[in-house]
Structure 1
Amino acid sequence: MRALIVEDNTEIREDLTRILKKAGFVVDAAADGSQGLYYALEYPIDIAIIDLGLPEVSGMDIIKNIRTKNLDYPVLILTARNRWQDRVEGLEAGADDYLDKPCHHEELLARLRALLRRTGRWAQTEFDCGPIRLNTSEQRVYLNDEEVSLTAYEYKVLQHLMLHAGEVISKTDLTESMYDDDSDRDSNVIEVFIRRLRMKLDKDNTLGPIETLRGRGYRFTLPRNNQ
């Protein structure tokens, strides 16, 4: 799950980044509106936290651009502004919720999870695709109720595929879901992780949970059990 933070206050930005990473998110953090707008439009974001009062490009304009491009991921406004008109304008621009600064970490995470559930990007903390069960809060994976030992990167790849079960996910999108913004990205390792996941989840080659679509990417073939 990839989160975008656009906040010009260094202390708040670093604090939010730490909280979200601890909660299992891959985080892109921007210090100004121009950088934030680029991330918002070009990266495979699942949810965004955007401050309204930003240098270069306002938070309001970022939200409007996100919706103009028909990107439907949820947006949470984080603001120190007291005018109710600002909140209304933000919601009318396309934001899904707002939270005043300073905020409690527990409330922030609860709001984010509620938005993800509401938009169907994170229906619950645990979900099944065939015999494979993934728990997002514990970051554990089970096959026929037996836990499967995965590395952190293997888990991130599998989570992204299962959250988008049935969709074609490009190698680039998978790579972006694995690495934080300040990490060196190597898309070639995706093939290694896919091969390892197939070996761990489908030793007998009977399930076929991950399909390779040459030149297009990968697709998790097992549908959600609750759909």
Structure 2
Amino acid sequence: MRYLIAETSWDMMTLAQELVTNGTLLTRTDRPEDLEHYAKIGEVDLIILPATQLGHDGVTLDSLRAANRRAPIALIARNASSEQRAKWLTAGADTVIDPSGDHDEALARLQALARRAHGLGRPVLQYGPLRIDLMHRRAHIGDVRLKLTPKVYELLEFIALRPGRLVTRESLLSHIYGLENEPDPRVFDVYMCNLRAQLSASGGAVDIETARGSGFRFVAECLDEAAIAA
């Protein structure tokens, strides 16, 4: 998944580094006034900012929500009172995290928030023989672990979180590369061919269809509530 984070304090920079170490994709900015723009143009699963930034540089919970209605918003606040936390939650924040608390718990809470926006209660996607472990960033078909590079894993995770939906090449590239320079189109084609070759071990139970001129669609033999481990 990809998080949008405002690195405007030591607490935020420390959190960003922990997320990167954990393998999470980040869109980072030290200019809070750019948050709304990045939320609008990018494929992000969660927006994280310090609560002290609200009301400055045009940043409000309402403006962020309007820019990206799908992404949850996490506020980072040190030693906030229960009344203030309640006020932020009522105003539209999805969670408030104190950076002085346990960092592993904070990372788990952020991931839980992001995945629940996709309807997932647990960090596992299951489609027939294909099992994707979102927490450890790996996938298996049956008992065999797929040999996925980080980029190819991100491609699989992004499209598998949107089963049956048309996903454009542009949205995939935006998710995987964020604001970085995108690769030569042939590199992306290699990624997709690699992923399809590995999914072929499912015997057709899962596949990625190409909608010519439009994008891609993740398909599985069972796309019902039981297909997602909730």
What are structure 2's unaligned runs of at least 5 residues? none
Equivalent residue for 1:8?
8
Match of 1:160 among 136, 158, 161: 158
Equivalent residue for 2:104?
106
Structure 1 position 216, deviation (Å): 2.1
What is the aligned residue count? 222
Structure 1 position 175, deviation (Å): 1.2
What are structure 1's unaligned runs of at least 5 residues? none
Structure 1 position 162, deviation (Å): 0.9
| Alpha-carbon distance between aligned partners in 2 of 1:30 and 1:119, rounded to the nearest angstrom | 23
Equivalent residue for 2:114?
116
Match of 1:184 among 181, 184, 189: 181
Structure 1 position 199, deviation (Å): 1.3
Q: Which amino acid aligns with 1:8?
A: T
Structure 1 position 19, deviation (Å): 0.9
Q: Pick closer, same or farther for the CA change 1:13–1:2 going to 2, 3 Å.
A: same
| Alpha-carbon distance between aligned partners in 2 of 1:68 and 1:27, rounded to the nearest angstrom | 21
Equivalent residue for 1:214?
212
Match of 1:82 among 80, 83, 87: 80
Structure 1 position 50, deviation (Å): 1.5
Q: Report the 3-state secondary structure (helix = DSSP H, G, I; strand = E; otherwise coil) of the residue aligned with 2:58.
A: coil
Structure 1 position 27, deviation (Å): 0.5
Q: Report the 3-state secondary structure (helix = DSSP H, G, I; strand = E; otherwise coil) of the residue aligned with 1:133.
A: strand
**Greater shift after overlay, 37-46 or 132-141?**
132-141
| Alpha-carbon distance between aligned partners in 1 of 2:214 and 2:176, rounded to the nearest angstrom | 18
Structure 1 position 102, deviation (Å): 3.1
Equivalent residue for 1:30?
29
| Alpha-carbon distance between aligned partners in 2 of 1:114 and 1:47, rounded to the nearest angstrom | 10
Match of 2:170 among 169, 172, 188: 172
| Alpha-carbon distance between aligned partners in 2 of 1:139 and 1:76, rounded to the nearest angstrom | 22
On the 8 A contact 2:152/2:191 being kept in 1, the answer is yes
Equivalent residue for 1:71?
69
On the 8 A contact 1:171/1:190 being kept in 2, the answer is no
Q: Report the 3-state secondary structure (helix = DSSP H, G, I; strand = E; otherwise coil) of the residue aligned with 1:98.
A: strand
Say yes or no: does 1:143 pair with 2:141.
Answer: yes
Q: Pick closer, same or farther for the CA change 1:69–1:226 going to 2, 3 Å.
A: same
Q: Pick closer, same or farther for the CA change 1:74–1:220 going to 2, 3 Å.
A: same
**Greater shift after overlay, 49-58 or 90-99?**
49-58
Task: Tell me how large the CA RMSD over aligned residues is.
Answer: 2.5
- State the identity as a percent: 26
Say yes or no: does 1:57 pair with 2:55.
Answer: no
Structure 1 position 107, deviation (Å): 2.2
Q: Pick closer, same or farther for the CA change 1:43–1:70 going to 2, 3 Å.
A: closer
Q: Pick closer, same or farther for the CA change 1:32–1:103 going to 2, 3 Å.
A: farther
